[in-house]
């Protein structure tokens, strides 16, 4: 193992018993190895790639602009990029979260064709009770964005609680109002939108969330979400076994959450401040807030 940080190398050697070398010595050693893993920043050449041989296998953690790629056809070594690592992790992750199968080719196509323009709109989706509203308010204070809770806005507009809307006008009516409100806020900049747990059920809403927002899916198990939750204003949980109903709903909705999520944050055992920080750090790192 070679690195620029000698103290880190010493710790690795002590802990794992690996052979270590300062990075400046790597060119003298590289010819002795057939499998080489590089995790240096993009554009950094730790050694001259022309020293590689045809029977080498190179794994480069960079997603793009690897220093090795221009030499593949010339030398003929085998090469796996960070992009390949990402895709081959994405396939089982997608299947775990959605229950649907996919292929590496589909993931490569999505990676190649995906473009996104950040418009200062963040949506928080996830099951009821997962913490969208509490963490969203903290995130709004940190970003200076306006916070909007969709369910609260619908109640204010309709002049009644969600349970009453369901009882008097039905869920279909509620979902139509929800979609119209989502369309409205999809054109509002500098906003953090906390969506209802079932907003993602509608394919139109999925499309809006995917295209117009940085949509962060807050994930937790059904049991975690409804533990201590007041179900009096949760019409879909007003039944003999709320946990069983919640587990069934979450299982059905997971593919919908996954279909329109920019990122996933597992919130179990995290304080709301920690959840907000995770969301902020991920979006700020990518787009800058």
Q: Is the pLDDT of residue 233 over 70?
A: no
Cα distances (angstroms) measured from residue 60 to each of 20, 44, 80, 236, 279: 19, 11, 6, 49, 28
Q: Is 33 helix (H, G, I), strand (E, B) or coil?
A: coil
CA–CA gap between residue 175 and residue 202 (Å, rounded)? 8
- Count the helix, strand and coil residues of the chain and give each as a percent rounded to the nearest 5: 55, 15, 30
Pull the structure tokens for residue 146.
């306006």
For residue 113, the tally of other CB atoms under 10 A from its CB is: 7
Q: What is the pLDDT of residues 59-116, one digit of tens each?
A: 998 877 789 999 999 999 999 988 888 888 888 888 887 677 888 888 888 777 666 6
Closest CA to 238 of 173, 152, 171, 149: 171
pTM of the model: 0.70
Structural domains present in the chain: 33-84 (no CATH), 121-286 (3.40.50.300)
Residue of 191, 166, 169 whose CA lies nearest to 181: 191
Name the phi and psi angles at 12, rounded to 5. -65, -40
What does the radius of gyration of the chain's CA atoms come to, in whole angstroms? 24
CA pair distance 27, 227, nearest whole angstrom: 58
pLDDT, tens digit, for every residue of 249-286?
899 998 899 888 888 999 998 999 999 999 999 888 87
Q: Alpha-carbon torsion 255, 258, 264, 265, what sign?
A: negative
Distance of alpha carbon 146 from the chain centroid:
22
């Amino acid at each position: 193992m070679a690195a620029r940080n000698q103290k880190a190398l010493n710790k690795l050697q002590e802990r794992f018993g690996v052979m270590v070398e300062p990075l400046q010595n790597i060119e003298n050693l590289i010819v002795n190895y057939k499998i080489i893993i590089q995790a240096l920043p993009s554009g950094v050449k730790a050694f001259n790639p022309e020293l590689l041989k045809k029977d080498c296998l190179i794994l480069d953690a960079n997603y793009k602009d690897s220093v090795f790629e221009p030499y593949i056809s010339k030398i003929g070594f085998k090469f796996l990029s960070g992009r390949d690592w990402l895709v081959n992790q994405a396939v089982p992750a997608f299947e775990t979260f959605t229950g649907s199968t996919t292929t590496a080719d589909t993931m490569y196509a999505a990676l190649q064709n995906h473009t996104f323009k950040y418009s200062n709109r963040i949506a928080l989706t996830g099951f009821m009770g997962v913490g969208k509203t509490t963490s969203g308010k903290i995130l709004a204070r940190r970003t200076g964005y306006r916070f909007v809770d969709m369910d609260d806005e619908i109640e204010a507009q309709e002049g009644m609680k969600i349970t009453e809307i369901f009882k008097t006008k039905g869920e279909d009516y509620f979902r139509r109002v929800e979609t119209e409100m989502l369309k409205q806020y999809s054109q509002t900049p500098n906003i953090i939108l906390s969506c209802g747990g079932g907003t993602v059920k509608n394919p139109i809403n999925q499309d809006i969330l995917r295209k117009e927002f940085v949509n962060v899916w807050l994930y937790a198990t059904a049991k975690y979400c409804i533990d201590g939750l007041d179900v009096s204003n949760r019409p879909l949980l007003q039944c003999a076994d709320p946990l069983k109903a919640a587990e069934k709903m979450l299982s059905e909705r997971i593919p919908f959450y996954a279909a329109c999520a920019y990122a996933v944050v597992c919130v179990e055992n995290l304080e709301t401040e920690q959840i907000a920080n995770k969301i902020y750090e991920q979006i700020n790192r990518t787009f800058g807030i």
